Amino acid sequence: MKRDAFTLAPDDVREIRHFHLFCGLGGGAKGFNKASPRVGNMVGKFRCIGGVDVDPAAIRDFQRLTGTPGTVLDLFDRSQYQAFHGMEPPAGWREVGPAEIRAAAGGEYPHIVFLSAPCKGFSGLLSENRSRTDKYQALNRLTLRGIWLMLEAFADEPPELIVFENVPRIANRGRHLLDQIGDLLQSYGYAVAETTHDCGELGALAQSRKRFLLVARHVAKVQPFLYEPEKKSLAAVGTVLDRMPLPGDPAGGPMHRIPRLQWQTWVRLAFVEAGSDWRSLNRLAVEDGVLRDFLIVPEHFHNGYMGVNRWEDPMGTVRGRSLPLNGAFSVADPRYQGHEYQQYGVRRWEDTCGAVSSQSAPGGGAYSVADPRHTGPAKHSNEFRIVPWSEEARAVTGAHGSGQCVADPRRAGEGFGKYMVTGYRQPAGTVISGSTTGQGAYAVADPRPSLERGKGDHYLTGGHYGVAKWEEPSGAVSAAACHDNGRWSVADPRMPAAADNLVAVIRALDGTWHRPFTTLELAALQSLVDPEEHLELDGLSDSDWRERIGNAVPPDAAQAIAGVMGTTLLLAWSGETFMLSSAPIWVRPVAVALSVAQGGAA
């Protein structure tokens, strides 16, 4: 039977040009480039035509991430420069005008302009009093000046859509500026809406990042509605970090090194409950500046010293002096009613991260993680293994010290006496051919003082269990040097000072490593880089990298925003004025927008 032949119409690819003011390292532009909207057989292909920022290092990153040349421009006017820097501009400095903005776009006209103006003056991290100083008021006025420069630069061919992004507090601290921006945009023919969103929900990130958006649609050029992007579920921070090498692994590159923190910071992090922050330290008992109930000891200390039992494990024998200092007489109690705080906060492995900011350090927020992954070499699989009585033994090997013990349920009878010590005033047991301390009660508690040691006594000169002073030389190192046959131990006085900077691995009370995020992990949480990828930003400073990463727009969130904007443009270009959708509307037709402009978001 012959089938009817048919062909699909080829895709109608439409270029969507986007331009970025205050572009930073290019997170927003990278996300826009990844968007691929479709309406019928019409497909949008995004192309970045430029970006502008005052930071040369950020522009170099922008060019690396987007493949598009960026332009270094200071957008202050002279009075703003003087107020912010407290001095006159240097020789050769001049105010930027619309012509320089148009040149930064390569002489082309964008369909979408994305602005992410400096937010320090609006941020809650800055006190109310400092935000009102001339310096930060000048920085805040860049929002209005940036919008005006952009509108004038592209006045001959206005952008169809404009997105202005900032911190949520701009709606309060910058209300007077937003009102002026809204009026300015409407005078240029735009319908305007204000809204807030969570970048994590737009991009399915492993962090929650609340942001403010002002969205404008040129009414004469774009008739359809502009819908909000779909919201997605937040991911757990461990879903990102688990795909990355352990911190410090050379495979992660220089941005994946553990920050060197003060010793006191490491100790604080170790005692912060996962999911909480520095305020959980208030529950610790401190006497004379020292923790009363805790002591830091090596992880593999002998005889259960300072040992902590798991909640689900049985306890050892309770004896006369069952104290933390002489056995495992503590318990890891999982019962705790905590709260979400910030400073020195430690994230659980399965939780989402908070917003990555330019102050992403352990002391500035919940920027540490309880990492359950093993940080040392793999141990021998049968080392110190105890075989259950009901199971078969492992293979008998030459290395009989590993895995050759059994959990014997039989109760030893009276007189079994293995490793027993006979009281000085009691009779000894029967002397047999196997009379050693390991076979019966063949040891005695001798109350008499030690014998006089003289020449020929090996324990007089051998230094068995000897401890050398720190300031003295060691004896000759022999082939059989061991702690129990000479002075092969040392009284080591070294302990980090509170302000010493170092990398430490302290196993916290919950059994994990409470550590700060690496710079690369922050970039991955921002979706600037896939967890399996390698990233190197411009320069060699972690603090500079972190500031640029914290200021960046998460690309995955920007991709979601670009997707709905691209769909709106394709609808407009195809002659459609409506698309059936359950998504909320961002920018409505001009009549509705203008009617509610004075009351808030449209």
User: Bridge-partner residues for 475, per DSSP?
Assistant: none
Least reliable range by pLDDT among 273-277, 412-416, 483-487:
412-416
Is a pLDDT exceeding 60 seen at residue 597?
no
- pLDDT at position 292: 87
Between residues 415 and 464, the one the model is more confident about: 464
119 is catalytic: yes
CB 518 within 8 Å of CB 241:
no
What pLDDT, in 10s, does the model give residues 58-84?
Answer: 999 999 999 999 999 999 999 999 999
pTM score > 0.85 for this model? no
What is the rounded radius of gyration, in angstroms, for the C-alpha atoms of the chain? 34
What pLDDT, in 10s, does the model give residues 488-502?
Answer: 888 887 778 889 999
- HEC assignment per residue over 159-195: CCEEEEEECCCHHHHCHHHHHHHHHHHHHCCEEEEEE
- pLDDT at position 203: 94
Is a pLDDT exceeding 50 seen at residue 589?
no
Of 568, 457, 491, nearest in space to 219 by CA: 568
- pLDDT at position 436: 65
- pLDDT at position 158: 97
- pLDDT at position 339: 43
CB 351 within 8 Å of CB 236:
yes
φ, ψ of residue 413 in degrees (nearest 5): -80, 175
Ranked by mean pLDDT, which of 108-112, 332-336, 415-419, 509-513 comes out on top?
Answer: 108-112
Residue 487, token pair as written in the block: 């002075």
Is a pLDDT exceeding 70 seen at residue 577?
no
What domains appear along the chain, each with residue ranges and CATH number? 12-234+552-599 (3.40.50.150), 258-374+497-517 (no CATH)
pLDDT interval class at 587 (50, 70, 90): low
What pLDDT, in 10s, does the model give residues 422-436?
Answer: 887 888 777 776 666
Catalytic member of 23, 119, 199, 353: 119
- pLDDT at position 570: 92
pLDDT interval class at 441 (50, 70, 90): low
542-578 CB burial, b ≥16 within 10 A, e <16: bebbbbbbbbbbbbbbbbbbbbbbbbbbbbbbeeeee
Pairing of strands 368-371, 71-72: unpaired
Between residues 463 and 176, the one the model is more confident about: 176
Is a pLDDT exceeding 60 seen at residue 415?
no
Average pLDDT over residues 433-446: 70
Q: Say how far apart CA 246 and CA 256 lie, in whole Å.
A: 8
- pLDDT at position 395: 65
In order, the DSSP letters of 380-419 are: PTTTT-EEETTSPPPPP-S-TTSS-EEE--SPP-TT--TT
Is a pLDDT exceeding 50 seen at residue 591?
no
- pLDDT at position 113: 98
What pLDDT, in 10s, does the model give residues 154-191?
Answer: 999 999 999 999 999 999 999 999 999 999 999 999 99
Least reliable range by pLDDT among 402-406, 502-506, 537-541:
402-406
Range list of β-strands (E), 219-305: 226-227, 261-262, 286-287, 290-291
Q: Say how far apart CA 57 and CA 51 lie, in whole Å.
A: 13
Least reliable range by pLDDT among 340-354, 425-439, 502-516, 577-591:
577-591
φ, ψ of residue 69 in degrees (nearest 5): -60, 140
Least reliable range by pLDDT among 231-245, 464-478, 561-575, 586-600:
586-600
Share of the chain above pLDDT 90, in %: 45
